[in-house]
Amino acid sequence: MSSNASPQKKGLGDSEHLKALGYDDSFHRSMSLWANLALGFTYLSPLVGVYSLFALALSTGGPPSIFWLVIVGTGQLLVALVFGEVVSQYPIAGGIYPWTRRLWGKRYAWMAAWVYVWAMLVTITAVAEFGSGFLANLINAPVTKEVTLGLSVLFLVVAFAFNFSGTKMLSRVARIGLAAELIGVIGLGLYLLIFQRKQEFSIFFDTMGVQGNDSYAAAFLGAALAGLFLFYGFEACGDVAEEVPDPARGIPRAMILTILIGGVSALFSFGGYVMAAPDLQAVVNGTDIDPIPAILEATLGTVGAKLFLIVALTAFLSCVLSLQAAASRLMFAFARDGMIPGHAWLGKVSPRTTVPVNALIVACTIPLLLCLLIYVGGSTLLTQITAFAVIGIYVAFQMVVLAALRQRFKGWRPAGPFNLGPVGFVVNVVALLYGIFAMVLLARPGSTGVFLDDWIVLIGLAVVMGSGLLYLFIAKPHSASHQPEGDAIAVAAMLRAHPQNAHRKDARPTTSTQ
């Protein structure tokens, strides 16, 4: 898929497909399938996810919390399959926004994009803040508020500079980040599992008393964040659909591979740290709140631990880069349809680099302001605003899944080259049930007794969705937008009727239900 060969012999060409959906090419299609996979993978970033939540998962659910990686990975694979069918019919930049618009309508899409863009901007901030700790450790800098702010800003600005340089540079850095991730999670994980084992494999079925005198079921459910925080990012592959050759075929594959490779990587990494921990009971008891540096020091030595920090920093930078790219493409797609204030400015694409440069500026500036807010409010604020990001992303995901299921009930049969046929309906239903289950787990209030801390996830979601609804109904940003909406059935019929698709097995004549 790395070549620029036109897929016209297999169906509609890229430009022709895009033209049929109401848009002209605005980008260079210079991102290969491998680079597209790298973009999604570095956004998903198993290294960042496992490192961030390893101690929390073990202190909440013990070693069996590793099974959340399997449960959530399976559920998100179903979501990725639904997304794959949608992007195959609608290979449009911006991902969740154009998908929900064409599956449901512009007001529904406005809310999905509003929630999702804020979740992404907060996630960019969180990853930069977490990455600053690695960088401070590498350069032996004290982890003060001022140092954290300065290094977080450095992450954001460097990632912006790479993104500003164009899609080819984004692809190059994403591929480097993918290599760093694979070394840092699979390579290190296998090394720890094979050569540095201090536990038996049966440890993954041992709760180690984490539940106390209560039922283990509650403890296990409490550890769900170990997987829920990790398995998103694959949708970023679709955010750059107009920068990829043959996206209708390639992007669904890239999203699925992102989940599969990310899941295997996370299992090796999480499992390796558990097996190599010199004092696993201390981690489970919560007395060792940051065990990974000690595990690395004990197994790799001082020099090896420093080398790992370099690999980790590369992964963190690539993650910020991918998040900025995805957020900017979403804002560009939003602006191109006239759905956001300042849409004429935000919808501009640089003629030199063919990137939405003004949207990129916003995707860097708002996280910079959030970093300043965290500097003033303290590290607790980082935890509080990050809590919203995870459920915000799941809500936006499930808005796509729900919209797709609604269209299926109305008679929609996805018409892209990637589709699941009759199985798609079952996959769609199960993906929605999984998503509801995940959101319930994420929204459960805490038990600290502090109202703001216990309810912060729902408070954050209510603030973002409430402000979005108010703006939607007062300012009516959708009223000036005249791009197509809710046309999934009509577009499927049009694509099947196109002469270049006439040879396809699923191109049977459209019935009245279509």
Output the pLDDT for position 11: 62
- Decide if pLDDT at 335 tops 80: yes
Instruction: In the chain, count H helices and then E strands.
Output: 21, 0
Q: What is the mean pLDDT of residues 115-132?
A: 90
- Decide if pLDDT at 513 tops 60: no
- The full DSSP string for 284-327 is HHTS-SS-HHHHHHHHHHHHHHHHHHHHHHHHHHHHHHHHHHHH
- Decide if pLDDT at 3 tops 50: no
What mean pLDDT is reported for the chain? 87
- Tokens 């993954």 correspond to 204
Q: What percent of the chain is modeled with pLDDT above 90?
A: 46
Helix (H, G, I), strand (E, B) or coil at 28: coil
pTM of the model: 0.87
- Decide if pLDDT at 23 tops 80: no
- The full DSSP string for 34-60 is HHHHHHHHHHH-HHHHHHHHHHHHHHH
Q: Measured between alpha carbons, how far is 83 from 99 in angstroms, rounded to an integer?
A: 9
Q: What percent of the chain is modeled with pLDDT above 70?
A: 94
- Decide if pLDDT at 301 tops 90: no
* Burial of 447 per CB tally in 10 Å (0-12, 13-18, 19+): exposed
What is residue 205's DSSP assignment?
Answer: G
| 378 compared with 322, residue with greater pLDDT | 322
Q: Measured between alpha carbons, how far is 148 from 129 in angstroms, rounded to an integer?
A: 7
Q: Measured between alpha carbons, how far is 496 from 483 in angstroms, rounded to an integer?
A: 21
- The full DSSP string for 161-187 is HHHHT-HHHHHHHHHHHHHHHHIIIII
| pLDDT tens figures, 201-249 | 999 999 999 988 888 998 999 888 888 888 888 988 988 888 889 999 9
Q: What is the biggest distance separating any 2 CA atoms in the chain, rounded to whole angstroms?
A: 69
- Decide if pLDDT at 355 tops 70: yes
Q: What is the mean pLDDT of residues 106-135?
A: 90
Q: What is the mean pLDDT of residues 432-444?
A: 93
Exposure b/e, 206-237, CB count within 10 A at least 16 = b: ebeebbeeeeeeebbebbbbbbbbbbbbbbbb
Q: What is the mean pLDDT of residues 398-423?
A: 95
Output the pLDDT for position 5: 38
Output the pLDDT for position 509: 35
Confidence tier at 428 by pLDDT (50, 70, 90): very high
Confidence tier at 495 by pLDDT (50, 70, 90): confident
Q: For residue 451, what are the contacts with CB-CB under 8 A and spacing of at least 6?
A: none
Q: Measured between alpha carbons, how far is 452 from 288 in angstroms, rounded to an integer?
A: 26
Q: Measured between alpha carbons, how far is 346 from 348 in angstroms, rounded to an integer?
A: 6
Would you state the structure tokens that stand for residue 97, as one six-digit string? 């926004």
| pLDDT tens figures, 144-202 | 889 999 999 999 999 999 999 888 888 888 888 888 888 888 888 889 988 999 999 99
Output the pLDDT for position 110: 92
Q: Measured between alpha carbons, how far is 22 from 436 in angstroms, rounded to an integer?
A: 33
Q: Which residue in 433, 489, 419 sits closest to 87, CA to CA? A: 419
- Decide if pLDDT at 512 tops 70: no
Q: In degrees to the nearest 10, what's the CA dihedral of 16, 427, 265, 87? A: 10
